[in-house]
Structure 1
Amino acid sequence: MPSGEELRMVRLTRAQQQERTRASVLAAAEEEFGEHGYALAKVDRIAERAELTRGAVYSNFPSKRALYLAVLIELVERSAGTGPQVPPASPGEALAAFARAWLERLPLTGDTAAGGRLQLRSLAGVLDDDHARTVRAQVAGLEAVLLAVALESGERGAAPVRRVRLAELVLTMLDGWSHLAETAPGFGDPFDVVRACRHLAGSDLADTWAPPHLPHVAPAQPCADAWHPPAGLVDRISGDEVGWGADGLITVLGAGRLTAAEEAIRCARPGEQVTVVAVTGDPAETGRLVRLRIGDLTGCLRRVFPSEAWRSVRLVVADADDAARVAAAVGMPGVDDETEAAVRVQDGVIVARAGGRGAAYAASAAGVPRSTRPRRAGA
């Protein structure tokens, strides 16, 4: 009978072999998608390139779509950089720098159509069903919130302006330019886009935050449960492991509810850490879609804004194992794409728990008179 040490070595060897197989599949898939594009790529050719069987490919990735998303994630995370030490001088300069970082994905003149689409992180023809469209809209809303938080962090004065509408406008312009680069390469001048983004920072968009449902949100459930934070989670904004403090607001959002992250950010009490955990019932495809888009955005943000821009906000994109651990830690039976739940931790104890629409607001406001409940920038 093998000893415990022998069993441990066997498991380690298997894990290392699986990681090598996965890396071989990803490298072969990147070549295949770069030569043929998503639609014409063949899993059989990917297996042949990797010198593996078709079954070995599918044992690591359940579908061609999941494999394509994994390749794009590898490209994004491979190109991730570090940020500056000082914040941009103004919102206009910040948006110009962000646009320059974003536009580096534009394909070069000699790139093939398939290679250019890979460089652009194109999802055309990949995720076009109704559910995927809904999730993409939610992710786009979350992207705008994250960009806005960074812009607002540099505001001076007692009443910072909400910048979400500005962020939505800038991201719309950049996404549109990426689409043109795919369908009409060579059109226009990217430097004009940079100048336009800088100019947009001065627009008065009358941006306020006043969700009509908040006055009708049911109160959170008071409690005094032990808080056992899950270890090893990665903050997708900073790229660092999440370090849990004694106090904070943790909100768990399904892929169909991601825009509720702004609610947690605006309603959190001053000085509290806000942790947003994005979950899904389909980690292979929907989860990878969320991780791809957020990774792509934060890779650009980190090159423009110092880490202090998000000092009070963390974002976790949970895989299946992480989602299960987070659900257990906050006292949830499970998660899916419509999950919206939150807990407030004080002195290492869960003191409030809420679920459903407005959960973050309810958990943060527990025990605070309605007239004195805090709101952050743009409220």
Structure 2
Amino acid sequence: MARLNRAETQERNRARVLAAARAEFADHGFRDTKVDAIAERAELTRGAVYSNFPGKRALYFAVLAETAGQQLEPSYREPGRTPREALGALARAWVTRLPLADTEESHGAARLGTELLSEVLGERRTRLPFAQLLQLDALLLGLALENLTRPHPTPRDDLARLPTSWRAWPGRLVRVAETVLTTLHGASQLAAAAPGFLEPFNVVKACEQAVDLDLDDGWTVPPFLTQAEAVDAAWTPQAATDLVRDAPAVFDDGVVAVLGLHRLAAAEDAVRALPAGSRVTAVLVTSEPGELAPLARLVLADLAGCLRQAFPESAWPRLQVVLDESGALASAAGVPAVSDGTEVAVRVEAGRIVARADGRGACHVVASSDGSMPGGPDVGSGPRRRP
């Protein structure tokens, strides 16, 4: 048998650690699982575990992220043609993953994710990214719902008609999405804590009816704390996976937003400012990729798999989401150093970066600029408001 090279050995060991950790967490729960027991089960040293994961919590998030991507039945695909049908299909896909009875078979699966929220809530450095990741999920689901309701989103020119202090965004359904996600995440916690209590039909029905709620939905035009500058630089991104579609990301013309895990809500600022048909790519970065990148994968995988099954491809949001653990994509966008507070946006045209902004409001000012080459009249001006 041919000897494995270093990268192949590391990948094999990582897979063994994940498999062993999953079994230990299912058998004993997160708190009572010992890293030494994981190493023994994987037939590796304790050092080999830590060479792949910085700590037990990072390993826990990675196990749950891998499990979330495997739980949906491949044959289950009944996309809805209306928002109500799509929300019903999304809820059915979600609840089929849950342990709905207290059986020996479901006990391990239920226990595996029981301690997720307590681990997330334990520290601010996980709470804030988790909250922002859920906001990103709500945006993705809201955009998909809007595409079924209104295939051609509100034109960028309509920004001029919005009041400076927000009241409502025409057709926005992100608050409906937030309500649905609250219901589904609550169902997950109850299924784990009280197997047999949850009635899946009621969960599906509640999610379907959420589309009829009047939640006074709206979006605020962000304050312009930065300016877009016209530039002319090469755009040579490396290959990456779009976590929304579970497919290679497409890096053609549009806006690329490099966002730290504390700034994910800013992705909507770019989406709302761009004209219909334009692409936004959110490149997620963090100063703690070992622990927070698996958490990001987990939260996005929980929703994205269900969304792909519940909505026709034509309704999938025009927002791509890429996790940039190495910082290579950020570097390609001219961001050499990243943090969880990063917000940098660039506009790409014909394979060149033609505009860039850094700081709060960067996503909006770049998306609302005209993308012209140096000297373009609208770069950094933001949306024009009428008196």
Please state which band the TM-score falls in when normalised by the shorter chain: 0.7 to 0.9
* Displacement after TM superposition at 1:113 (Å): 5.0
Q: What code does the residue aligned with 2:271 have? A: I
- Equivalent-residue separation in structure 2 for 1:80 and 1:342 (angstroms): 34
* Displacement after TM superposition at 1:131 (Å): 1.7
SS in 1 for 2:149: coil
1:30-45 matched pairs, under 5 angstroms:
30-45=22-37
Shift in CA distance, 314/335, structure 1 to aligned 2, threshold 3 Å: same
Asked whether the equivalents of residues 81 and 303 of structure 1 are also in contact (C-alpha less than 8 Å), the reply is no
Provide the aligned C-alpha RMSD in A. Answer: 2.3
Shift in CA distance, 271/217, structure 1 to aligned 2, threshold 3 Å: farther
Asked whether the equivalents of residues 132 and 262 of structure 2 are also in contact (C-alpha less than 8 Å), the reply is yes
* Displacement after TM superposition at 1:363 (Å): 0.9
Of 197, 217, 222, the residue aligned with 2:207 is 197
1:155-304 matched pairs, under 5 angstroms:
155-156=149-150, 161-211=171-221, 213-214=222-223, 216-228=224-236, 230-245=237-252, 247-304=253-310
Asked whether the equivalents of residues 235 and 241 of structure 1 are also in contact (C-alpha less than 8 Å), the reply is yes
1:97 aligns with 2:89: yes
* Displacement after TM superposition at 1:309 (Å): 2.1
Shift in CA distance, 338/303, structure 1 to aligned 2, threshold 3 Å: same
1:337 aligns with 2:328: no
Ranges in structure 2 where 5+ consecutive residues have no aligned partner: 155-169, 371-377
SS in 1 for 2:117: coil
Ranges in structure 1 where 5+ consecutive residues have no aligned partner: 1-8, 374-379
- Equivalent-residue separation in structure 1 for 2:76 and 2:30 (angstroms): 36
Residue 109 of structure 1 corresponds to which residue in structure 2? Answer: 102
SS in 1 for 2:116: coil
Q: What code does the residue aligned with 1:171 have? A: L
Q: Deviations over 1:240-270 (max 9, x none)?
A: 111222x210001101111111111111233
- Equivalent-residue separation in structure 1 for 2:186 and 2:76 (angstroms): 27
Asked whether the equivalents of residues 271 and 312 of structure 1 are also in contact (C-alpha less than 8 Å), the reply is yes
Asked whether the equivalents of residues 18 and 59 of structure 2 are also in contact (C-alpha less than 8 Å), the reply is yes
Shift in CA distance, 77/85, structure 1 to aligned 2, threshold 3 Å: closer
Shift in CA distance, 204/335, structure 1 to aligned 2, threshold 3 Å: same
Q: What code does the residue aligned with 1:286 have? A: L
Q: What code does the residue aligned with 2:320 have? A: R
- Deviating 4+ runs (over 4 angstroms): 80-87, 157-160, 369-373
Of 327, 330, 343, the residue aligned with 1:327 is 330
Asked whether the equivalents of residues 190 and 198 of structure 2 are also in contact (C-alpha less than 8 Å), the reply is no
- Equivalent-residue separation in structure 2 for 1:190 and 1:86 (angstroms): 17
Of 138, 141, 144, the residue aligned with 2:138 is 144
Between the aligned residues of both structures, percent identity stands at 46
* Displacement after TM superposition at 1:311 (Å): 5.9
* Displacement after TM superposition at 1:180 (Å): 1.7
SS in 2 for 1:78: coil
- Equivalent-residue separation in structure 2 for 1:175 and 1:44 (angstroms): 32
Residue 134 of structure 1 corresponds to which residue in structure 2? Answer: 128
Residue 62 of structure 1 corresponds to which residue in structure 2? Answer: 54
Shift in CA distance, 50/83, structure 1 to aligned 2, threshold 3 Å: closer
